[in-house]
Structure 1
Amino acid sequence: MNRAAPAARASAARAPVTRRLTLRTRLALLTAAAVALAVAACATAGWLLTRNQLYTELDRRLAATTGGPPGPEHDRPFRGAAQRIEDALARCSHDPSASLNPPPGPFEMTQAVTADGRRCTLPGSGALRVTAQDVEVARGERGHAYHDGTGTTAGGGTDHVRVLTRSFRAADGTQAAVSYAISLDEVEGPLDNLALLLTAVTALGVLVSAAAGLAIARASLRPVDELTGAAEHIARTEDLATRIPAEGTDEIARLSRSFNAMTAALAASRERQRQLIADAGHELRTPLTSLRTNIDLLLRAEATGRNLPPDARRTLLTGVKAQMRELSSLVGDLLELARPADARPARETVALHDVAARAVARARLRGPGLTVESRADPWYVHGDPASLERAVVNLLDNAVKFSPPGGTVTVRLAGGELTVRDRGPGIPAEDLPHVFERFWRSPSARSLPGSGLGLSIVARVVAETGGRVTLEPAPGGGTLARVRLPGTPAPPD
């Protein structure tokens, strides 16, 4: 016996189930993240712009206090410092030296740089680390250079400084450079304070954005909650009359209107199904009752030994056959109407004149005392042959049923229009709007055989073929049916 499988199932049952975040939570998190990124980006951009502005001002001060804008015309330092720089170049000591008398000028550190890259310190002016940029200026390869650096003060401390190195030409023509440095404390201090402030603002922005995101998510998803509640209510109660208030033109309002349209369509479909079942039951009741009565009479005569007269027996059997034929026709009509509208049969090129000829032949059999005149020009349509023949037969059956004894039914097919005319009593004007409804029968026709489905099938088949059918009073009495179907007088290649 394998004991590992139950243990694995038990372990799987004890394993925690990973639950996905709800849409409301995800929307709140996405909103908070987007706002947080925006605040962080603005804070970073603000800090960088402030830093750039402070450094620009610091560089401007360096340039102004060292003798004007850097350039060939300003290769001599401010007054009183040229001699000290020439003395430093002459002795060229690279170690910082202390001095009780601070050097003139606002600089924390000042030193000379020779063309070969050596630093020459001034008394009491500290020392700076020589960079490649400083050497390029000393060699005359560039006029000046700004950069950050690290220096040693006259007191031996280390400090971060902003350095301006500019060209210097001694009285004897020696090419060199002078580096002036100002401490970065007056820049880094405000920048650090600004960074702390912006960090606090960013953190506050994240908290505010999270709260705002949650509030926005709740407000935005409230219609979705209503939609969910309505769907759950419909699933629980099957109440398709439920509607959701849809106001505005946004996506949620469109979704609500679409949901309302869907439930309305479902309710209409269910009502049509209910009506179809009720009407079908009503129509089936009459032939079934007649069948049962006739069969009961035959069985009772057989059981009692009292045979019916041959004429009466033949009449009963003929009635049974007629009722069975009516039931078969009714079931066929119901199956045709129950077919979904999107489940259309295979379509092909159909010779409508041949279909009309076959329908006329069947109509002559059903109305032996009538005259059926027919003339059909060639016309080819794209549709289902069986459905088209059923539609034309239904039209002719309707004409035969309402034609008086010895009457004439005229069938014409010309230019893509099929007309069927009878000489019956006609259809009252108030009944014309209802003739294509399912199970509808005019008061004058309720005593005649039929289910009231023939013309509704005609309307459906003609619509599926892309045509149009109408009924109208015929000149001189009777009814004229017109069927217009798109097609061609010659078969397509």
Structure 2
Amino acid sequence: MRLRPRHRPGRLSMHARVALLTAIGVMFAVAVVSLSGWYMMRKRMYENLDAQLQSDAQTAAQAETPDDALHDMYAADLPASDWRDEMDDLPAEAQRLLDADGPPPPIIVRFLDADGVPVSSTEGAEWLGSAHPPPILIADRRIGVDLDDAGPGELRVYRVATVATDDGAVQVARLVTGIEGVLEDLLFLVAYVGFLGALLSGVVGWGVARTGLRPLHRLTGAVEDVARTQDLHSVITVDGQDEIARLATAFNRMMTALNTAKAAQQQLVQDAGHELRTPLTSLRNNVELLTYAETQADSGRTLAAEDRARLLRDLGTQAEELTALTAELVELAMENTDPEPLVPLDLADVVHGAVTRARARWPGIVFAVTIAHAVMDGQPGGLARMVLNLLDNAAKWSPQGGVVEVRLRISPSGGRAVLTVADEGPGIGEPDRPKVFERFYRAAEARSMPGSGLGLAIVAQVVATHGGDAEAGASLSGGAELRVSLPVSGRQRQFLGKPATAS
């Protein structure tokens, strides 16, 4: 197993990603909250300014001259603003006014006649420019209130309230540079605090990630050790019940499954090597004997025709045994690595098909079949192989003309299908019955018979895959009786009460 590098070039570590995402999240939250607060503050300040302007305009409407109105509003206590210190880049019109008339006054009062033309004003009225259509309309109708921004050119430095009077309208304007200065300072403060908050959150996120991911680092180190040492017996210590603990538990289970599979693979290879050694040795000896006889033909030392025919028959038999053994080994390996999917089926149909094939392979054996419907979810190929192996085993041990009884029934509880195959052979001794389903196991009486010892092992494997049980016993005639129990599905209820069929 080749280890991948911990970090790919150009990618951040998990610590860095957690810290970065935390900083971005905090920055976003701070930005949303701060900008919302700044906007609400701006709105409230301008609402207060508008209320003050309307109150001032009502007061100015009762004065006779702009100066009287200004005196009534105590404007003399308001300091002037020096724009030369506050703004460096002014529009040309604003720069001209600043050079000619000085800085804009904090408050301007201006009276309009019925046509909206200024007739009198306090100093600095040039900063307001000419009256706009809404104030002109108010002066003409002598009714209504208007709030608007004003200033030279596109520069809006005043907030203006226009209120109707008996002779036209009066305008009161207040300078907004102070408000805008406060808002700019507040915006800078918000940005500064947001930056510091994001920086602090990144540091905190790094620490949280380092602490929270420490178990994951331990798990990663353990996995890397297993990959490096190939030691499948390693067990990772599980602490707690969080996601990391669940991952460690799943890894331990995977290690157990891999260790079991590796042990089974090694056992299969060892058993196969042991079982193949004997037929291969016998096959090689017979081939060498035939080869030696051919080389001695010129000297007159030849094998008798009967001996030669016997050797050839032995070679054919040994080749067939090797072919069967290889096929069964392949079947076992396929069951382990590429399992067949489960599909709905009737086990009775599978048994019928296997019996048809067994009758063709064993014409000298009588197969007496009694079958009931058994609906289940299973592997058609695996179940067919399992039933045929049971039938081949029974036929192999039965005498010529013997009867193999095949019965498929539903258990009294209705939850399992029971397949029984009984023969009239010598039977299986009690000490051997628990072992007949093991790989390559052959009883002492069976070692003179052809076979690999894998047929019943395949039966046990298929049965275990379907959640069933297999056991060996004695038949009424004294032969062997092999029983397989498999769970049926809920669809089996439709066949309850129907009689079994015989053939």
Tell me the TM-score normalized by structure 1: 0.69
Among the aligned pairs, what percent are the same residue?
38
Gaps of 5+ in 1: 1-17, 68-76, 89-98, 152-157, 366-370
Task: Give me the whole-angstrom Cα distance separating, in 1, the residues matched to 2:256 and 2:330.
Answer: 25
Say yes or no: does 1:121 pair with 2:120.
yes
Confirm or deny: 8 A CA contact 1:413 1:419 kept in the other structure. Answer: yes
SS of residue paired to 2:439 = coil
Aligned CA distance change for structure 1 residues 122 and 307 (closer, same or farther; 3 Å): closer
Cα displacement (A) at 1:467: 9.2
Report which stretch shifted further, 50-59 or 228-237. Answer: 228-237
Task: Give me the whole-angstrom Cα distance separating, in 2, the residues matched to 1:467 and 1:252.
Answer: 32
Confirm or deny: 8 A CA contact 2:386 2:458 kept in the other structure. Answer: yes
Structure 1 counterpart of 2:471:
471
Opposite residue 10 of structure 2, the aligned amino acid is R
Q: 2:330 aligns with which of 315, 330, 335?
A: 335
SS of residue paired to 1:330 = helix
Aligned CA distance change for structure 1 residues 110 and 102 (closer, same or farther; 3 Å): closer
Opposite residue 208 of structure 1, the aligned amino acid is L
Say yes or no: does 1:58 pair with 2:49.
yes
Task: Give me the whole-angstrom Cα distance separating, in 2, the residues matched to 1:186 and 1:388.
Answer: 91
SS of residue paired to 1:146 = strand
Structure 1 counterpart of 2:158:
161
Cα displacement (A) at 1:26: 4.2
Cα displacement (A) at 1:252: 5.1
Task: Give me the whole-angstrom Cα distance separating, in 1, the residues matched to 2:428 and 2:157.
Answer: 110
Cα displacement (A) at 1:278: 0.7
RMSD between superposed Cα atoms in Å: 4.7
Aligned CA distance change for structure 1 residues 392 and 160 (closer, same or farther; 3 Å): closer
Gaps of 5+ in 2: 1-7, 76-106, 411-416, 499-503
Cα displacement (A) at 1:145: 2.6
Confirm or deny: 8 A CA contact 1:353 1:379 kept in the other structure. Answer: no
SS of residue paired to 1:425 = coil
Task: Give me the whole-angstrom Cα distance separating, in 2, the residues matched to 1:124 and 1:20.
Answer: 66
Aligned CA distance change for structure 1 residues 184 and 245 (closer, same or farther; 3 Å): farther
Task: Give me the whole-angstrom Cα distance separating, in 1, the residues matched to 2:359 and 2:447.
Answer: 25
Report which stretch shifted further, 224-233 or 273-282. Answer: 224-233
Say yes or no: does 1:34 pair with 2:39.
no
Task: Give me the whole-angstrom Cα distance separating, in 2, the residues matched to 1:351 and 1:100.
Answer: 114
Say yes or no: does 1:399 pair with 2:394.
yes
Structure 2 counterpart of 1:368:
none
Say yes or no: does 1:199 pair with 2:191.
yes
SS of residue paired to 2:115 = coil
Aligned residues: 431
Say yes or no: does 1:274 pair with 2:266.
yes
Cα displacement (A) at 1:19: 4.8
Cα displacement (A) at 1:201: 0.8
Confirm or deny: 8 A CA contact 1:427 1:479 kept in the other structure. Answer: no
Aligned CA distance change for structure 1 residues 267 and 468 (closer, same or farther; 3 Å): closer
Opposite residue 375 of structure 1, the aligned amino acid is V
Structure 1 counterpart of 2:369:
375
Opposite residue 453 of structure 2, the aligned amino acid is G
Aligned CA distance change for structure 1 residues 454 and 134 (closer, same or farther; 3 Å): same
Confirm or deny: 8 A CA contact 2:390 2:482 kept in the other structure. Answer: no
Confirm or deny: 8 A CA contact 2:340 2:382 kept in the other structure. Answer: no
Report which stretch shifted further, 382-391 or 138-147. Answer: 382-391
Task: Give me the whole-angstrom Cα distance separating, in 2, the residues matched to 1:248 and 1:121.
Answer: 84
Structure 2 counterpart of 1:106:
74
Task: Give me the whole-angstrom Cα distance separating, in 1, the residues matched to 2:308 and 2:171.
Answer: 135
Cα displacement (A) at 1:106: 3.3
Task: Give me the whole-angstrom Cα distance separating, in 1, the residues matched to 2:256 and 2:109.
Answer: 88
Aligned CA distance change for structure 1 residues 249 and 118 (closer, same or farther; 3 Å): farther
Tell me the TM-score normalized by structure 2: 0.67
Deviations along 1:390-436, one digit per CA (max 9) or x if unpaired, are 5444212322455579864223467997542124434649954x654
